[in-house]
Amino acid sequence: MSEEKGTEVLEKFVSAMDELVELGEDIFEDGKVDFSDVMHLPKAAPILEKLYDVWGKKEELVSEARDLSWEEAAKLLAVASK
C-alpha cells in the first residue's frame, strides 16, 4: 500500500463523514424528524455508498490513521471543513 493510496482512503472517509453531518443538519433543521424529512433520503445513498466502500478498506484506513503526519492531518482537516 502506498502512502498516497492510504491518504486517499482517509480523505474519502472524512469527506463522506462531512457529507453525512451536513445531511443530518438538513434533517434536524426544523428540530424534529418526521415524514417531511423523507425528501432527504436520496442524498443519503451516495454518502452511504462511499462509507461502504471505505469500510471494505478499513485495514488500510486504520493503518494510515496510525501513521498520519502533520501535513496529512492538515490536509484531512481541509477536506472536512469544505
Find the domain containing 53 and state its range: 3-80
Q: Specify whether the CB–CB gap between 5 and 36 falls below 8 A.
A: no
Q: Which amino acid is at 40?
A: H
pLDDT tens figures, 52-78: 988 888 888 888 888 888 888 888 888
Tens-digit pLDDT profile for residues 16-60: 999 999 999 999 988 888 898 899 999 999 999 999 988 888 888
Q: How far is residue 36 from each of residues 18, 27, 29, measured CA to CA in Å? A: 23, 9, 11
pLDDT band, residue 6 (cuts 50/70/90): low
Number of domains observed in the structure of the chain: 1
Those residues whose C-beta lies under 8 Å from the C-beta of residue 14, and which sit 6 or more positions away, are 76, 79, 80
